[in-house]
């Protein structure tokens, strides 16, 4: 009998209960007991939804207050020394300090944060070194399993696997031999697995998504060693090694021959996994296959007929009784329930399936595999009819957009003159000092800003009233920056709800949810736009506010746009055409906006591509194709500006070493990068490659409430100037300030400007002009 499961479930609460509780706890408004109560309620609601849908195995310990990798760091006691941890159980204060940093008497910086594979979720990067010692320092997996068991849930505890944990870790001194730590790490894992087995766990899931990336020497040997040890400690429990996000490639043979009881494979993003099973390698008769046939990362109704055909093909090679039907990955990456969308266009809504809907898709497919295709014939027929109707909908296609793309000139991605000439024209126009200071775009959005926006959306105030309010906010931000002494200003983006949503709401081909929240990191949740049809721009989107802001100051004010690749990668993208085609459509729409800003007299235009790197395929062999069209799309957008108009871009969480040529090929005049948690190692890449354009390495971390002292920023700048030429360097925070409190951003910016002036004056005193 085929069973149904999923690798994980959303954990933020159907109505963002966890966000509200976390932020109340951080601000001292509720106790730890209150926070834990909310967390328990969120977990119980998730288990109840899965049980009601008919899942046979329900994940536990997939809940996290911040991040599952950070949870693992806590579990194995790998707390960096700077947090002055007592060495006992990792407490919430230490846990959140690692994630967010601390300010005040216990001032300490946060750990580095980066993207989870090619998703828009972020994890806290473990910091390990050759002498790291491990020990069990958190019983969270056992506590949450026992909580689920007490609630009558047939729970499957979930852990980040040891090989993935080591591979995701970082050693800032680059002396780390990850696999040399395995023998020290494994006793913690075997202890946890043993405790879970003793507590009655039937299955224990260990996630090893690292296996879908290119293998490194020693990885497969480490995998075998790890699971030989874990298998010896499992008692009566069964061990499932779960992979997702792509096929497992050269790891397949080693993976399926591990001494474990089940293997989870992604057949949505890794259809090659089916070929591995069909060919000579086959699938072991003593193991269970967890077949990920429902897309866990997108929000379109699943093609049940295609998924069932995959299951039928698998059943030719694997006993159906040994197949567990699943989503391709955790449903962490999808919203909760499409039925919560009361205002979404009915036709578009009918095309969507969120987490709860995906549960039913998985259960339906498991029923068909167990009882035969006839048992789900009605569901298959209805699904086929829906998908055919969606494909024929006129909402999908815009002939004008298609014609414009087909007739795009060969030089549509060219700025007209090379960078060296542009730089001279721009400096003559702008007259900037050395080490110019700026910010990335957004300023703190206060409760007043959000409340006024809600009033406008509900119709409680008129458009004229709302626009007067926004003008007041922009003027206040401009005046504030003038007072601080910042050289290049921004308007602060008070009119924007989100850097992608704001544009999508003004572009044709997009739809938006009201409750479609997914976690980005910690308490930062986003509502990704839904791209369902061809994209075009009916009218200017930002010119009104950019020109108003520029009218308030003699200093340059940047026009702020989100780039086409980031809009694509931070949206739920239609699956009926290549992603590259959708990105080209967005690029043309944003090009029109660049042109209009330029014509309106805006001298600097920033086109943020925060998500360029996260769209990289997980295997290097596939990188060139993606980077070719991604870079091309950015250049098409930027080419809407004249040579004398300075084009900036901003990138987050980017490790540039391996895609540096693509970054250079963007041909942006200035690039600002997130760097405060990375030190000089990232900048060395620019130096060694001879990068000659402007660079703004983030001088302080905005993802933490911590305010860096002036001396710290000054020291960072001086170090930066040992690597980069002074004529290249810009001074700016890591990222936008939207999520920070006004008092935090003000204090940090004061220190940033003071540090820049001090370094600038010291250089002038040394005869550098």
In this structure, are residues 261 and 288 in contact, taking their beta carbons and an 8 Å threshold?
yes
Q: How far apart are CA 356 and CA 139, in angstroms?
A: 29
Indicate left, alpha or beta for 690 from its phi (over 0: left) and psi (-120 to 50: alpha): left
Residues 122, 333, 491, 703: which is the catalytic one? Answer: 703
Q: How far apart are CA 716 and CA 700, in angstroms?
A: 9
Query: How many C-beta atoms lie closer than 10 Å to residue 198's C-beta?
Result: 12
Q: Phi/psi at 38 (nearest 5 deg)?
A: -60, -45
Helices (H), ranges, 101-214: 140-150, 162-168, 182-198
Secondary structure percentages of the chain, helix, strand, coil, to 5:
45, 15, 40
Q: How far apart are CA 369 and CA 375, in angstroms?
A: 9
In this structure, are residues 544 and 518 in contact, taking their beta carbons and an 8 Å threshold?
no
Q: How far apart are CA 758 and CA 87, in angstroms?
A: 41
Contacts of 243 (CB under 8 A, 6+ apart): 207, 208, 209, 211, 212, 255, 263, 264, 265, 266
In this structure, are residues 291 and 243 in contact, taking their beta carbons and an 8 Å threshold?
no
Nearest Cα neighbor of 46 from 131, 147, 171 is: 147
| Residue 27 buriedness (CB in 10 A; 0-12 / 13-18 / 19+) | exposed
Q: Read off the tokens for 421.
A: 């000439």
Q: How far apart are CA 685 and CA 613, in angstroms?
A: 16
Which residues partner with 59 through β-bridges? 156
In this structure, are residues 721 and 755 in contact, taking their beta carbons and an 8 Å threshold?
no
Which H helix or E strand runs over 180?
A: none
Indicate left, alpha or beta for 2 from its phi (over 0: left) and psi (-120 to 50: alpha): beta
Within 13 A of 98's CA, how many CA atoms are on the CB side?
Answer: 26
Buried b (16+ CB within 10 A) or exposed e, 28-63: eebeeeebeebbeebbebbbebbbebebbbbbbbbb
Which residues partner with 521 through β-bridges? 524
Nearest Cα neighbor of 562 from 485, 611, 499, 640 is: 499
Known active-site residue 480? no
Q: Phi/psi at 516 (nearest 5 deg)?
A: -85, 55
Q: How far is CA 336 from CA 32, 66, 292, 304, 356, in A?
A: 26, 18, 19, 20, 6
Q: How far apart are CA 487 and CA 713, in angstroms?
A: 17
Q: Read off the tokens for 596.
A: 């209009």
Buried b (16+ CB within 10 A) or exposed e, 495-504: bbbbbbbbbb
Nearest Cα neighbor of 401 from 572, 593, 580, 581 is: 581
Q: How far apart are CA 303 and CA 300, in angstroms?
A: 9
The DSSP letter of residue 57 is: B
| Residue 761 buriedness (CB in 10 A; 0-12 / 13-18 / 19+) | exposed
At residue 602, the 3 state secondary structure works out as coil
Catalytic residue numbers? 703
């Amino acid at each position: 009998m085929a069973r149904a499961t999923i690798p994980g479930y959303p954990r933020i609460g159907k109505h963002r209960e966890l966000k509200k509780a976390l932020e109340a706890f951080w601000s001292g408004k509720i106790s730890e007991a209150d926070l834990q109560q909310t967390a328990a309620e969120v977990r119980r609601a998730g288990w109840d939804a899965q049980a009601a849908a008919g899942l046979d195995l329900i994940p536990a310990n997939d809940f996290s207050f911040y991040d599952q990798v950070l949870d693992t760091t806590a579990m194995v006691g790998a707390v960096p020394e700077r947090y002055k941890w007592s060495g006992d159980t990792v407490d919430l204060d230490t846990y959140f300090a690692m994630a967010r940093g601390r300010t005040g008497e216990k001032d300490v910086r946060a750990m580095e944060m980066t993207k989870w594979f090619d998703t828009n979720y972020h994890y806290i990067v473990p910091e390990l070194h050759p002498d790291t010692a491990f020990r069990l320092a958190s019983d969270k997996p056992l506590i949450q399993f026992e909580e689920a068991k007490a609630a009558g849930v047939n729970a499957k505890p979930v852990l980040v696997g040891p090989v993935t944990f080591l591979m995701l870790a970082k050693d800032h001194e680059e002396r780390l031999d990850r696999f040399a730590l395995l023998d020290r790490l494994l006793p913690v894992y075997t202890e946890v697995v043993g405790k879970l087995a003793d507590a009655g766990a039937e299955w224990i899931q260990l996630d090893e998504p690292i296996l879908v990336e290119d293998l490194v020497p020693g990885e497969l040997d480490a995998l075998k060693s790890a699971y030989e040890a874990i298998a010896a400690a499992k008692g009566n429990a069964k061990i499932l090694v779960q992979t997702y996000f792509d096929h497992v490639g050269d790891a397949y043979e080693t993976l399926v021959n591990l001494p474990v009881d089940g293997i989870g494979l992604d057949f949505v993003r890794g259809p090659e996994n089916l070929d591995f099973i069909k060919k000579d390698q086959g699938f072991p008769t003593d193991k269970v296959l967890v077949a990920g046939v429902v897309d866990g990362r997108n929000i379109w109704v699943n093609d049940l007929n295609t998924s069932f055909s995959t299951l039928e093909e698998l059943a030719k090679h694997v006993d159906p009784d040994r197949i567990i039907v699943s989503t391709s990955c955790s449903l962490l990456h999808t919203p909760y329930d499409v039925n919560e969308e009361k205002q979404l266009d009915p036709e578009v809504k009918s095309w969507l399936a969120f987490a709860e809907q995906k549960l039913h898709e998985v259960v339906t497919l498991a029923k068909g595999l167990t009882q035969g295709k006839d048992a789900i014939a009605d569901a298959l027929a209805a699904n086929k009819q829906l998908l055919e109707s969606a494909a024929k909908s006129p909402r999908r296609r815009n002939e004008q957009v298609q014609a414009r793309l087909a007739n795009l000139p060969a030089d549509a991605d060219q700025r007209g003159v090379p960078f060296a000439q542009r730089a001279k024209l721009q400096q003559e126009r702008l007259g900037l000092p050395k080490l110019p200071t700026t910010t990335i775009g957004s300023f703190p959005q206060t409760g007043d800003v959000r409340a006024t926006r809600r009033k406008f959306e509900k119709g409680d105030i008129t458009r004229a009233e709302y626009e007067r309010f926004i003008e007041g906010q922009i003027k206040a931000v401009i005046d504030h920056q003038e007072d601080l002494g910042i050289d290049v200003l921004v308007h602060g983006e008070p009119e924007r709800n989100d850097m992608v949503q704001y544009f999508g709401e003004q572009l044709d081909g997009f739809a938006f949810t009201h409750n479609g929240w997914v976690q980005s990191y910690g308490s930062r949740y986003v509502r990704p736009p839904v791209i369902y049809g061809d994209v075009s721009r009916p009218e200017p989107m930002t010119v009104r506010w950019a020109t108003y802001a520029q009218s308030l100051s003699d200093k340059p004010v940047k026009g702020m746009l989100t780039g086409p690749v980031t809009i694509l990668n931070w949206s739920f993208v239609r699956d009926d055409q290549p992603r590259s085609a959708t990105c080209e459509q967005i690029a043309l729409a944003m090009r029109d906006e660049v042109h209009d800003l330029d014509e309106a007299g805006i001298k600097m235009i920033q086109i943020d591509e925060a998500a360029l790197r996260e769209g990289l395929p997980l295997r290097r062999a596939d990188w060139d194709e993606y980077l070719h069209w991604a870079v091309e799309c950015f250049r098409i957008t930027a080419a809407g500006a004249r040579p004398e108009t300075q084009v900036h871009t901003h990138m987050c969480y980017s490790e540039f070493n391996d895609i540096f040529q693509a970054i250079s090929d963007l041909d942006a005049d200035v690039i600002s990068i997130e760097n405060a948690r990375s030190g000089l190692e990232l900048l060395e890449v620019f130096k060694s490659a001879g990068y000659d354009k402007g660079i703004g390495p983030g001088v302080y971390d905005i993802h933490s409430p911590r305010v860096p002292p002036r001396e710290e920023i000054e020291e960072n700048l001086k170090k930066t100037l040992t690597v980069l030429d002074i004529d290249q360097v810009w001074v700016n925070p890591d990222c936008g300030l939207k999520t920070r409190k006004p008092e935090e951003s003000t204090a940090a910016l004061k220190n940033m400007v003071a540090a820049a002036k001090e370094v600038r004056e010291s250089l002038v005193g040394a005869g550098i002009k």
